[in-house]
Amino acid sequence: MEYFDARRKPHNVGKIIAALVLTTLCIFVLKQSPGFGGNSVFSRHEPGVTHVLVTGGAGYIGSHASLRLLKDNYRVTIVDNLSRGNMGAVKVLKELFPQPGRLQFIFADLGDQKSVNKIFSENAFDAVMHFAAVAYVGESTLEPLRYYHNITSNTLLILEAMASHGVKTLIYSSTCATYGEPEKMPITEATPQFPINPYGKAKKMAEDIILDFSKSKGADMAVMILRYFNVIGSDPEGRLGEAPRPELREHGRISGACFDAALGVIPGLKVKGTDYPTADGTCIRDYIDVTDLVDAHVKALNKAEPGKVGIYNVGTGRGRSVNEFVDACKKATGVDIKIEYLSRRPGDYAEVYSDPTKINKELNWTAQYTDLTESLSVAWRWQKLHPRGYGTN
């Protein structure tokens, strides 16, 4: 037996060493695989891949931005509490980009500091596109505290999380409502900001917080603030559209109201305000197609530089009256929409349109979809196919 054992020991040692090597190799491979220990490709930085957190990515603009980012091979994490967004939009995106490591959705409220910090601690973000916000002027006059909390306070929480976790790039979704009602048109980025409603005020406060933080020692932030004008249209290929909650229709965009009237969901279109100091008495706005808008975001992301802040108006540079818009909507839908004229909407302003010179020059961005009737026609095709929006969440 002693002789037999002496000859077995080297053989057993060899087996043990081989088993240890194999086990170590398996552990290494597993660690590199998505899902090991609860981790995934979203939790680590990867050379050549830019991981973008899209807040409010289930909403109208956020979903279109997510689509564009995914098409351009970015890695995308959508965070949304679905209070205004639609899970149906996320499902469309997941069906279009089912490959592992492309898109993930996290249901969370950005007003919950613990949730926000957990999201940042478990994911390796390279940049944040912050869309999430309530965004109706009329509603903001009725529920101002909700707007300050949702827009200003939540943006502060996002910035704190970015600072804690070393995320240095922010593309911020702002609005021309921060300018209020300027004395001169068109609006440039140097136009003084005097917002006249809680929505615009809350956005300006958020901008101020971002700017102050970007100037702080060691921040080294790459910041782009995009001030939108009035967004219309939808994905030209018909994959996404705008689907606001039914209870929010009275606060929604004029395009949604036009389509509801054309579909017979409501008896007609209510035009609020006919006594403004404009050529036909109705408000004048600069309507920007959502496809152009998300193109501006991608260009802003590509041009963002550490230690620098870019502020840009995103509009066509041309103002159209509400009456002009309604005429275009009638042409796009082929329906003679009934119009009811009412008094002005609280907190609204007469005339707003942009001077896009700065964004044209610095980001090489120019609006391409400037035919109002065509943009509305594209959106109308989606609306006809989705009369109930995306359906239930």
Query: Given a cut of 90, is residue 370 above it in pLDDT?
Result: yes
pLDDT of 7 > 80? The answer is no
The 3-state secondary structure of 62-104, one letter per residue: HHHHHHHHHHCCCEEEEEECCCCCCHHHHHHHHHHCCCCCCEE
- What pLDDT, in 10s, does the model give residues 377-389? 999 999 999 988 8
60 flagged as catalytic: no
Q: What's the pLDDT score for residue 161?
A: 98
Across-strand partners of 222? 169, 308
CA distance 189 to 310: 10
> Does residue 186 have a cis bond before it (omega within 30 degrees)?
yes
Contacts of 203 (CB under 8 A, 6+ apart): 133, 151, 174, 175, 177, 178, 195
H helices then E strands: how many in the chain?
Answer: 13, 13
Q: Which residues contact 127 (CB under 8 A, 6 or more apart)?
A: 50, 51, 52, 53, 167, 169, 170, 171, 301, 304
DSSP track, 226-271? EEE-EEE---TTSS------GGGGGGS-HHHHHHHHHHTSSSSEEE
pLDDT of residue 254: 85
Residues 6+ away with beta carbon under 8 Å from 47: none
- Pick the catalytic residue from 199, 349, 369, 390: 199
Residue 209 has pLDDT above 50, yes or no: yes
Q: In the Cβ-directed half-sphere of 375, how many Cα atoms lie within 13 Å?
A: 23
pLDDT tens string 326-367: 999 999 999 999 999 999 877 677 888 999 999 999 999 999
pLDDT digits (tens, 9 = 90+) for 246-294: 777 767 788 988 999 999 988 999 898 999 999 999 999 999 999 999 9
Supply the mean pLDDT for the chain: 90
Which class is domain 51-385? alpha beta
From the list 82, 192, 84, the residue with the least C-alpha distance to 135 is 84
pLDDT at residue 14, as a whole number: 58
Higher pLDDT, 345 or 139: 139
Name the 3-class secondary structure at 289: strand
Domain boundaries, the chain: 51-385
pTM above 0.85, yes or no: yes
Q: What is the pLDDT of residue 20?
A: 58
The candidate with the shortest Cα–Cα distance to 355, out of 195, 178, 227, 189, is: 189
